[in-house]
């Protein structure tokens, strides 16, 4: 009601967004009015079932609000009628349904103060469903340049209540697959959505700053899983290179010593400040043994056409990728 009153006071006509700050005692204060649709406008559309861009165009054409079908449905009157609606009357209240949460997907590194980055995208897979919808400005084989805005995706989750909307968003973000030259905020968003303070809606404008100060990090894969996957990637490259070099020498009429055909590779990795020394032995083209500190695990490995590895380890399957950079593996 205050937003409508404010727009009428300045004679504003069309879609717009009024933002307020709320205090703990329930009082609220005007922050700003944007004479346009916000990028979060699907939140309103999903709870009101109103196509806002369409309504905006119809208003610009001179069609009154009470003649727009979506508006009439939202106010609980016949969509096919043309009777006026008293929008100021308490007898005509809009009937929104459910709850919506929006999540911006950005190319920022939470571990480095949300520093934006750029680069190419090798893979981006997101599947919308009846409760979650999203869009992205890039696709596989695309990229983000250094002068672009760090946001390249937006996801919206609907639920009958706030808890259901949060749950749907968490599931959607966990199923979102982005592989590129840059870090994203996806894992950090999942962490935020699963915090107790967010679950109970006990947050304020300083909430995120406090989490950053406390160095709260996104959930990481199990340490041993990360070490095993890294060792297998490094070893697999070495083993395949040794076979390739041996075959090329035969094509040139040369026969290299048999010991150049590696079956065991020594791997040293530093992960989260700890050094790991491992041996990776190949038992067959798709079977490896990883040895460390006297213990060993067997891992089935299948190479994917896009350069990844499909691993079967400890009763579960994992799809992993590795990129070698100047001073590290990622």
For the chain, the structural domain boundaries read 1-75, 99-214, 223-329
Same fold, 1-75 and 99-214: yes
- Nearest residue to 137 (alpha-carbon basis) of 147, 128, 124, 127: 124
| pTM of this structure | 0.80
Q: Which of 36, 97, 220, 240 is catalytic?
A: 36
Secondary structure element (H or E) that encloses residue 223, with its range: helix 223-251
Per-residue pLDDT tens over the stretch 166-202:
999 999 999 999 988 888 999 999 999 999 999 999 8
Instruction: Render pLDDT for 267-308 as a digit per residue (tens, 0 to 9).
Output: 888 888 889 998 888 888 888 889 888 888 888 988 888 888
CA 249/CA 77 separation, integer angstroms: 81
Q: Is 36 a catalytic residue?
A: yes
CA 310 – CA 304 distance, rounded (Å): 7
* Token pair of 311 as six digits: 């691993």
Give the pLDDT band of residue 156 (cuts 50, 70, 90): very high
pLDDT digits (tens, 9 = 90+) for 53-98: 999 999 999 999 999 999 998 888 889 988 998 888 767 778 789 9
Alpha carbon distance 31, 37 (integer Å): 16
Please give the structure tokens belonging to residue 83.
Answer: 């009777």
Residue 69: count other Cβ atoms within 10 Å of its Cβ: 16
Residues 109 and 258: their CA atoms lie apart, in Å, by 46
Dihedral angle over CA of 45, 46, 48, 50, nearest 10: 40
Phi, psi for 128 (deg, rounded to 5): -75, 155
Q: What is the CATH number of domain 1-75?
A: 3.30.470.20
Residue 303, both tokens: 């190479």
What residues are paired with 30 via a beta bridge? Answer: 20
Model confidence band, residue 319 (pLDDT cutoffs 50, 70, 90): confident
CATH class, domain 99-214, is: alpha beta
pLDDT digits (tens, 9 = 90+) for 32-51: 999 888 889 999 999 999 99
């Amino acid at each position: 009601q205050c937003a409508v009153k404010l727009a009428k006071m300045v004679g504003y006509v069309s879609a717009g967004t009024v933002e307020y700050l709320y205090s703990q005692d329930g009082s609220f204060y005007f922050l700003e009015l944007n004479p346009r649709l916000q990028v979060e406008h699907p939140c309103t559309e999903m709870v009101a079932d109103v196509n806002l861009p369409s309504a905006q165009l119809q208003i610009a054409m001179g069609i009154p609000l009470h003649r727009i079908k979506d508006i009439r449905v939202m106010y609980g009157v016949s969509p096919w009628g043309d009777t006026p609606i008293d929008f100021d009357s308490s007898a005509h209240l809009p009937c929104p349904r459910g709850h919506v949460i929006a999540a911006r997907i950005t190319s920022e590194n939470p571990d480095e103060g949300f520093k934006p980055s750029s680069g190419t995208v090798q893979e981006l897979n997101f599947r919308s469903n009846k409760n979650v919808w999203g869009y992205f400005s890039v696709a596989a084989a695309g990229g983000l340049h250094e002068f672009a805005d760090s946001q390249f995706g937006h996801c919206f989750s609907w639920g009958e209540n706030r808890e259901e909307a949060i749950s749907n968003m968490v599931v959607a973000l966990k199923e979102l697959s982005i592989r590129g030259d840059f870090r994203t905020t996806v894992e950090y968003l999942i962490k935020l959505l699963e915090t107790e303070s967010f679950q109970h809606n006990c947050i304020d404008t300083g909430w995120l700053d406090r989490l950053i100060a406390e160095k709260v990090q996104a959930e990481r894969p199990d340490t041993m899983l990360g070490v095993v996957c890294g060792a297998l990637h490094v070893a697999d490259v070495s083993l395949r290179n040794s076979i390739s070099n041996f075959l090329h020498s035969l094509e040139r009429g040369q026969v290299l010593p048999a010991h150049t055909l590696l079956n065991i590779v020594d791997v040293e990795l530093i992960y989260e400040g700890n050094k790991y020394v491992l041996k990776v032995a190949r038992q067959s083209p798709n079977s490896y043994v990883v040895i460390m500190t006297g213990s060993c695990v067997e891992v089935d490995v299948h190479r994917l056409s896009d350069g990844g590895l499909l691993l079967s380890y400890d009763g579960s399957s994992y799809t992993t990728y590795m990129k070698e950079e100047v001073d590290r593996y990622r």
